[in-house]
Amino acid sequence: MKRTHTCGELTLDNKGEKVILQGWVKKNRKLGALTFIDLRDRYGTTQLLIDESSQKKFPEIKSEFVIEITGEVLERKSKNPDLKTGEIEVKVINLIIINEAKLTPFEIKDGLEANEDTKMTFRYLDLRREEMQKNLLIRSQVNKIIRDYYHRLNFIEVETPIFGKSTPEGARDFLVPSRVNVNKFYALPQSPQLYKQLLMIAGMDRYFQIAKCFRDEDLRIDRQPEFTQLDMEMSFATPEDIQNNIENLLAEIIFKVKNIKIKTPLPRITYQEAISKYGIDKPDLRFSLEINDVNDIFKSSEVNLFCNLKKNEKIRAIKVDSLLAKKDLEQLTEVAKQNSLVNLPFLKYSNNEWTGSLAKNLSDSEKQQLLKKFEIKGDCTILFAVGDFDISSRGLGAVRNEAAKILKLYKPEEINLLWVVDFPLFEFSEEENRYVAAHHPFTQPKEESLQDFDKNKSTALAAAYDIVMNGFEIGGGSQRITNENIQKRMFKAIEMSNQTVEDNFGWFINAYQYGAPYHSGCALGIDRIVMILTQASSIREVIAFPKNSNGIDPMTNAPDLVSTKQLDEINLKLK
């Protein structure tokens, strides 16, 4: 290459050398007789120096021009210890413009607060910013660690189709009309689930793939219509084998990227414990703030809210070690309401005095029991939820997360990982008025549920597990059903007719009649993991070309209208 060095490379070791650099003009400033230019590329920034006598020789340059310079490396007078190249500068001997640049719609700098859609319209400029480059570099590093790890362990990387048949992952499919097969559609894979199971039957033994997945769901900060999974599956492996494999991988990623040592084996808690202690199946355990049942304390209470409890209603509460200000309580009440709670009654305790919306009829015995139950030693606030167990748990779970944020109960760079195991096999769908598979219908019931999972659907447990990082579900998997009879019972339990099963999965279930190993697997959301590792505020920050919150790419304007000719070719007419 013509350049002798990148812009992030030169140090005092190169003093006196003649070099050629190419890059973008980050800054261009005149100080008296001298001109200083910061030249930027992906590797860093190098300071260029043009003295007065040379200035007239060179063309005028502006920010974001791409230039090439020949120059001599000098020791800098005022050094910049924060920069790898901070001890040197390059005195420019020759300068040519490779390409000029228009005034950019926003300044290319870290901490930029431009409108999201403007940034996405000019994504290639946004990606010039150091913090965005760092995100993509870390993502590339994570992919490499994954590939190295799995090759080391004898896994093979297999690519599976993007044009396939609908797989039952629980979300809506994206459909692609086939031109050649009139009126028929491919579905984009929600995950490579069925293919990887077939690879086990095919004898591949250990499979992994960094796979694109597509789900037509409403967007959130941690959701995009297309996203990337590390997908893996192992034959003759139990859920514990998979959990060990995945946690060792994550420990390696976190150590190599963040230099943080994660202690393995990771804690494992059951789904039931997660809901009951933290109100959510993906608890953030960087802080404790456990939810407690306090029905016992208020058995014969005169507090208005507690005297007329209905049979199934639970009183649940969390204590925070702080006297929450009015504004914080309002913020928490708002979160409670967004999560189906009617309100968020509270008690405050300070200097032996109880105040707050529930304090009026609180008896001495109740006060004593509260002190004991919550091991109260100083000022605190107790937040209550009353209602059905699930609603009060989930409501307080959301309040718990918000309270930790308000009270800054964790350090932003901290990382906490855990497994949530023993998920329910089914969940009841109000919409469809039937039980549906909570994970997917190929998930093996847990040993203790094998006998009666199709009779006791509300309590049946699955051999399924999720991995949680800082309150985000970053992955999950299960042991798969490999027995025809269990699979049939499973489909019957979710009220799928034989015909539907045959039409949709006949091809898949048949495969299990030709000799299948038992197998288990898992998938990790790479976008979410990189988002947490880079402390980005959304997965959009770690995807090169994402969609905005309406599922649109403002740069290309996808999705867009297509011509009548294109529609005719695929035999479609718009409604």
Which residues are part of a known binding site? 169, 215-217, 224, 439, 473, 480, 525-528
CB of 522 to ligand ASP, least distance (A): 5
Residue 111 token pair: 């901490």
Q: Judged by CB under 6 A, does residue 523 bind ligand ASP?
A: yes
What is the C-alpha separation between 500 and 496, in angstroms, rounded? 6
Cβ proximity to ligand ASP, 454 vs 466, nearer residue: 466
CB of 480 to ligand ASP, least distance (A): 8
Return the closest-CA partner of residue 34 out of 89, 83, 84, 79.
Answer: 89
CB of 191 to ligand ASP, least distance (A): 4
Contact 234, 150 (CB under 8 A): no
CB of 172 to ligand ASP, least distance (A): 15
What is the C-alpha separation between 24 and 109, in angstroms, rounded? 13
C-beta neighbour count of 437 within 10 angstroms: 22
Chain CA centroid to CA 477, Å:
16
CB of 488 to ligand ASP, least distance (A): 20
Cβ proximity to ligand ASP, 395 vs 477, nearer residue: 477
C-beta neighbour count of 86 within 10 angstroms: 17
Binding segment for ligand ASP (CB under 6 A), chosen from 44-52, 305-313, 350-358, 518-526, is: 518-526
Phi, psi (rounded to 5 degrees) for 371: -60, -40
Cβ proximity to ligand ASP, 225 vs 521, nearer residue: 521
Q: How far is CA 210 from CA 137, 139, 192, 231, 527, in A?
A: 16, 12, 10, 6, 11
What is the C-alpha separation between 331 and 339, in angstroms, rounded? 13
Binding segment for ligand ASP (CB under 6 A), chosen from 177-185, 270-278, 350-358, 516-524, is: 516-524
Cβ proximity to ligand ASP, 370 vs 481, nearer residue: 481
Facing residues of 207 across strands? 156, 233
CB of 106 to ligand ASP, least distance (A): 36
The H-or-E segment that residue 502 falls in is: helix 498-511
Residue 469 token pair: 């990082």
Cβ proximity to ligand ASP, 40 vs 439, nearer residue: 439
Q: Output b/e per residue, 165-179; b: 16+ Cβ within 10 A.
A: ebbbbebebbebeee
Cβ proximity to ligand ASP, 193 vs 401, nearer residue: 193
Among 522, 532, 539, 543, binds ligand ASP (CB under 6 A): 522
Among 193, 209, 228, 534, binds ligand ASP (CB under 6 A): 193
Q: Judged by CB under 6 A, does residue 441 bind ligand ASP?
A: no
Decide: residue 419, CB within 10 A, 0-12 exposed, 13-18 middle, 19+ buried: buried
Phi, psi (rounded to 5 degrees) for 328: -65, -40
Cβ proximity to ligand ASP, 345 vs 477, nearer residue: 477
Facing residues of 429 across strands? 434
Which residues make up each annotated binding site for L-aspartate? 169, 215, 439, 480
Q: Dihedral angle at the C-alpha atoms of 270, 273, 279, 284, nearest 10 degrees?
A: -60
Q: How far is CA 227 from CA 117, 189, 212, 305, 331, in A?
A: 20, 11, 6, 46, 32
Q: Judged by CB under 6 A, does residue 476 bind ligand ASP?
A: yes
What is the C-alpha separation between 273 and 548, in angstroms, rounded? 36
CB of 269 to ligand ASP, least distance (A): 19
CB of 175 to ligand ASP, least distance (A): 19
Interacting positions 137-176 with ligand ASP (CB under 6 A): 169
* Angle at the Cα of 405 from the Cα atoms of 399 and 411, rounded to 5 degrees: 140
Contact 322, 380 (CB under 8 A): yes
Residues recorded for the chain: 575
Among 168, 441, 477, 546, binds ligand ASP (CB under 6 A): 477
CB of 159 to ligand ASP, least distance (A): 16
CB of 477 to ligand ASP, least distance (A): 4
* DSSP for 447-502, written as a single string: GGGTTTTTT-TTT-BBSEEEEEETTEEEEEEEEBP--HHHHHHHHHHTT--HHHHH
Binding segment for ligand ASP (CB under 6 A), chosen from 42-50, 309-317, 401-409, 473-481, is: 473-481
Which residues make up each annotated binding site for ATP? 215-217, 224, 473, 525-528
Q: Judged by CB under 6 A, does residue 478 bind ligand ASP?
A: yes
Q: Judged by CB under 6 A, does residue 521 bind ligand ASP?
A: yes
CB of 557 to ligand ASP, least distance (A): 30
Cβ proximity to ligand ASP, 358 vs 522, nearer residue: 522
Cβ proximity to ligand ASP, 383 vs 523, nearer residue: 523
Cβ proximity to ligand ASP, 132 vs 438, nearer residue: 438
How many binding residues for ligand ASP (CB under 6 A)? Answer: 9
What is the C-alpha separation between 182 and 572, in angstroms, rounded? 9
For residue 364, the one-letter residue type is D
Binding segment for ligand ASP (CB under 6 A), chosen from 315-323, 449-457, 475-483, 536-544, is: 475-483
Cβ proximity to ligand ASP, 23 vs 521, nearer residue: 521
What does the binding site for ligand ASP look like in residue numbers (CB under 6 A)?
Answer: 169, 191, 193, 476-478, 521-523
